[in-house]
Homo-oligomer: A and B are copies of this chain.
Amino acid sequence: MSAHASPEPSFRDSVDIMFNRAVALLDLPPGLAEKIRVCNATYTVRFGVRLRGEIKTFTGYRAVHSEHMEPVKGGIRYALGVNQDEVEALAALMTYKCALVDAPYGGSKGGLRIDPLAYEEHELEQITRRFAYELIKRDLIHPSQNVPAPDMGTGEREMAWIADQYQRMNTTDINARACVTGKPVNSGGIEGRTEATGRGVQYALQEFFRHPEDIAAAGLSGTLDSKAIIVQGLGNVGYHAAKFLSEEDGARITAVIERDGAVSNPVGLDIEALKTWIAETGGVKDFPGASYTPDGIFSIGSGLRYFDPGRTRRCDPP
């Protein structure tokens, strides 16, 4: 489905390649693999919002890869690079992820082609409510059908706007609040949701280190304790993963890669202090007690790495 063949497969192609590799091991009836592979439905919507004296047209998507279980789940991201191919590929990954861990959901994903930093909060609210209106009208946000969550460029705030928009359009739906997850706690969200994805990274690593053969196969040894870990992106996921791994598992976060470069310290970085530093200065540069490099960090050392593709620049290996 990609426009042209290239030496490096597109994101969507690589998802399909992995899928094909997996189904080749199964004995499926004719036509079923193709049916599972394709994205069941994608809704492309273009809407106008009156902003700063003119009408601005936005393009958004909501893809449903498979509704074999309902509701389907998957985040809504706000980014300039959002496109139909990416949204459909991400929706497919949601189907596979849920199926692998037996979470009773189908896979979905949504996105809005926008730079969220280019707008003020009240403008983002207006844009988000309008986007949500279009999806709610088609039951593509709906407690029993399709339940989004935060993703790149969106968070609790956007989920609260969406939930409120749903309630305004479905004033008597007793399950209205269930139309999105990742809401603020005082709007019906649940405790622990914010740190959940980072916690998941920690749990996956803990599980990994319970299996000696896997550890060996990866060329590693020992336990998480004292392991050196490089974190690429100290956003919500990276921050919590780094925090829990260092505070609870004894790992050393020896480097953190961010938008403006990378900082490293072989004995481990103080994650709380670094988080505060980034919030105050806007970057990792000059973080006390750490080496700074504006370029790729991969030469610094080896270790387990978490990559947040939305927060870091392209870091080609040296």
Binding site for B on A (CB under 8 A): 3, 29-32, 34-35, 38-48, 53-57, 59, 70, 133-134, 137-140, 142-145, 167-169, 171-176, 178
Contacts and interface: CB of A to CB of B under 8 A. Distances in A.
Nearest to A176: B144
Smallest CB-CB A-B distances: 3 pairs: A31-B55, A144-B174, A30-B54
Nearest to A37: B57
A56 B30 CA distance: 9
Given A40-B46, A43-B43, A144-B173, 16 more contacts: A30-B53, A31-B56, A34-B57, A40-B45, A40-B47, A41-B43, A41-B46, A42-B43, A43-B138, A70-B167, A137-B171, A138-B139, A139-B172, A144-B172, A144-B174, A144-B176
Contact of A46 (B38, B54, B168): B38
B46 A32 contact: no
Nearest to A142: B172
Contacts of A56: 31
23 contacts: A29-B54, A30-B53, A30-B55, A31-B55, A31-B56, A32-B55, A35-B48, A39-B46, A40-B45, A41-B43, A41-B44, A41-B45, A43-B43, A137-B171, A138-B140, A139-B172, A143-B174, A144-B172, A144-B174, A145-B171, A145-B172, A168-B169, A169-B171
Contacts of A70: 167
A173 B71 CA distance: 11
Contacts of A30: 53-55
B31 A171 contact: no
A42 B44 CA distance: 5
Nearest to A53: B30
A133 B43 contact: no
Contacts of A139: 137-138, 171-172
A144 B138 CA distance: 14
B133 A168 contact: yes
- Among A140, A169, A171, the one with the most B-chain Cβ atoms within 10 Å of its Cβ is A171
A48 B30 CA distance: 12
A82 to B, nearest CB: 15
A252 to B, nearest CB: 41
A142 B170 CA distance: 14
Contacts of A178: 174
Contacts of A44: 41-44
A49 B174 CA distance: 26
A190 B42 CA distance: 33
A42 B3 CA distance: 19
Contacts of A32: 48, 55
A260 to B, nearest CB: 34
Nearest to A56: B31
Nearest to A60: B41
Nearest to A33: B55
A102 to B, nearest CB: 10
Contacts of A29: 54-55
Nearest to A144: B174
